[in-house]
Amino acid sequence: MAVIEIDGVRKRYGATVAADDVSLTVERGEIFGLLGPNGAGKTTLVECVSGLRKPDAGRIRVFGLDPRRDRARLRQVLGVQLQQGYLPEALRVGEAVTLYRSFYRDGADPRRLVADLGLGEQWDSPFGKLSGGQAQRLSIALALVGRPRIAVLDELSTGLDPHGRRNIWEIVERIRDTGVTVVLVSHLLEEVHRLCDRVAVLDRGRVVALDTPDALVASEGGGQRIRLRVSEPLDLAVLEALPGVTGVREDDGELVVSGTREALPVVTAELVRRSVTITALRLEEATLDDAYLAITGRATEENPHD
Amino acid sequence: MTEPIIAARPGPAAWARLTLTEAKLVARDTAGLVVPFGLPMLIMVMNGLGADRTPVPAFGGLPALDAYIVPMTIAMVVALIGIVNMPSFLAAYRTTGVLRRLSVTPAHPVLVLVAQAVVSLVQTVLGVALALALARLSFDLTVPRSLAGAIGVFLLTVAAMYAVGMLVAAIAPTVNAAVAIGLALFFGFLAMGGGFGGREHLPGWLADAGAYLPFGAALDLLGDCWAGLTPEPGQLLALAVTTVLSGAAAAWLFRWD
């Protein structure tokens, strides 16, 4: 069942197109990723869904509610963690969560929520004294304190170290496990691949791809990347012509062969046939990074004048 | 299987909690307490120590402390909190995204404006009460001959100063700008209104203008109430007009993010 329906949404600020005919649906209980470079229109879309901005055209429904007309009802079921939402420096963790709890009809127990997010010891700490990760977890607590059915999390791991990032990811998975639908805005591919059930790739206001992370990887050739060093110079065209090979390039003395899973035996057989010795070989699974670069790169080529 | 979604606006408990939270934040802002409480009182004490209680005919026979120094102290407390302190809080809330964060909850960000206004009003009343108590104990301050009038003028002064403060908060793009604009207005009002010595030394047109700006008007009107003289209707009107115009402009121009 779709809990968020976005249909033909357009939004522009002056000459900048932030949303260009965006259509997508978010299903109940999934972690849905909005992925894209800075300025792709991710935050604009989230702001339209939250009722903070009115689209120039198109239709948005969240649980069948119009985000602007039915604002008061929407607020009770949609928890939003905005990018750049700070708190007064002197406000303490416990005070903030208790205050935000009082805004909602129904909500979580502030002390338990804070403890669940690993901030139990910071209950009396002022916001200004929190580390980046703690502030981000408090921000999530404020988005969850009204027991929302959908949580929108915008760039939640920005500025965190790898440890803090993993910590936040576990929290997001736990949120989903409690039945909350999560919309995750991110430009971190590792984060999206690890967390999201489906992901929409946005580029300059357009949805340029929408699928599961694995399907996105597969759609862009998927498979593998073979990095190898050989004993003597080799004509790249020889490898390119082989079945299963989708691309060959040289990278700092290494040959990088992209292709399907059949490529490895074919390439090694060809090298043996030509009596070329392989001095080093490394196999890499294609990642979402590759797919993402291919998808957004193609979008740029198709619209070079944007 | 799905419960219906029921709209709910935050109730009185949320209002109370928000106001209490604002009060804690204001109380923790130590620098914000020292200036509006300390500066006017210090000026009052320095003036009070040097003065005997000689009756001044122009003040209806009251000493200058009662009819000039204390009214000036009151107007200064109101102006400092209303024009400098409150806008800096609100500008900080806007620039750091506090208002934006509130706008995605069931609480409208206007709630925080109201809470901040209420709290700073309490702060103002407290500051004025402290100054009055000190003047009463140390310098035998008299009760205003027109007590109701003095209270009325005080409230009107608060309204006018706060409306100007809201306008500052509405247009200041940063906290720094809010403090700078607030202080410039505060010193300007004071200088033109007689806060740094009598208006009679100013060029005539400047003194006339100063008498109708919030500080000068409040100073004269409070002095009149202490002395039991009839307040100048033009100055009362000036405070009311300032309140309405600044308040309307603030509501019109206020940027939430």
Query: Which band of pLDDT confidence, cut at 50, 70 and 90, is reported for residue A302?
Result: low
Residue A106 confidence (pLDDT) above 70: yes
**B106: nearest CB among A72, A98, A142:** A72
Name which of A111-125, A257-271, B182-196 the model is least confident about. A257-271
Using an 8 Å CB-CB cutoff, list chain A residues near B96: 86-88
Where residue B78 falls among pLDDT bands split at 50, 70, 90? very high
- Determine whether A88 is exposed, middle or buried from the number of CB atoms within 10 Å of its CB (0-12, 13-18, 19+): buried
For residue B14, tell me if it sits in a domain.
no
Q: Taking CB atoms and an 8 Å cutoff, what residues of chain B touch A90?
A: 24-25, 28-29
Q: Is residue B102 part of a domain?
A: yes
Answer for the pair A244, A263: CB distance below 8 angstroms, yes or no.
Answer: yes
| Chain A residue nearest residue B103, CA to CA | A52
Q: Specify the CATH architecture of the domain A2-214.
A: 3-Layer(aba) Sandwich (3.40)
Map out the domains of chain A as residue ranges.
2-214, 223-285
Taking an 8 Å cut-off on Cβ atoms, the answer to whether A91 and B5 are in contact is no
Six-digit token string for B183: 């202080």
Range of the domain at B142: 26-253
In a domain, B6, yes or no: no
Interface test with B, best of A62, A92, A102, A144 (most B CBs within 10 A): A102
The interface predicted TM-score of the complex, written ipTM, equals: 0.83
What pLDDT does B83 receive?
A: 95
Q: Please give the tally of structural domains in chain B.
A: 1
CATH number of the A223-285 domain: 3.30.70.980
Q: Does B104 touch chain A (CB under 8 A)?
A: yes
Q: Is the pLDDT of residue A256 over 50?
A: yes
Give domain status of residue B15, yes or no.
Answer: no
B138 found inside a domain: yes
Average pLDDT of chain A to the nearest whole number:
87
Q: How far is CA A302 from the centre of its chain?
A: 23
Answer whether residue B4 is part of any domain: no
Cα–Cα dist A264/A189, whole Å? 26
The three-point CA angle A38-A41-A43 to 5° equals: 85
Fold equal for A2-214 and A223-285: no
DSSP letter string, B164-192 = HHHHHHHH-SSHHHHHHHHHHHHHHHHHH
Q: Does A127 touch chain B (CB under 8 A)?
A: no
d(CA B41, CA A133): 44
Asked, for residue B228, whether it belongs to a domain, the answer is yes
> CA-CA distances (angstroms) from residue B224 to A9, B129, B209, B231?
63, 19, 19, 6
In the DSSP assignment, the letter for residue A50 is: T
Alpha-helical (H) ranges within A104-186 are 110-116, 132-144, 162-177
- From the list B178, B223, B180, the residue with the least C-alpha distance to B198 is B223
Cβ distance A250 to A256 under 8 Å? yes
pLDDT digits (tens, 9 = 90+) for A258-284: 887 788 888 889 888 988 888 888 888
Cβ-Cβ contacts under 8 Å, A98 against chain B? 17
- pLDDT above 80 for A173: yes
Instruction: Name the token pair of A298.
Output: 């193609």
pLDDT bracket for residue A299 (50, 70, 90): low
Q: Are A24 and A200 in contact (CB under 8 A)?
A: yes
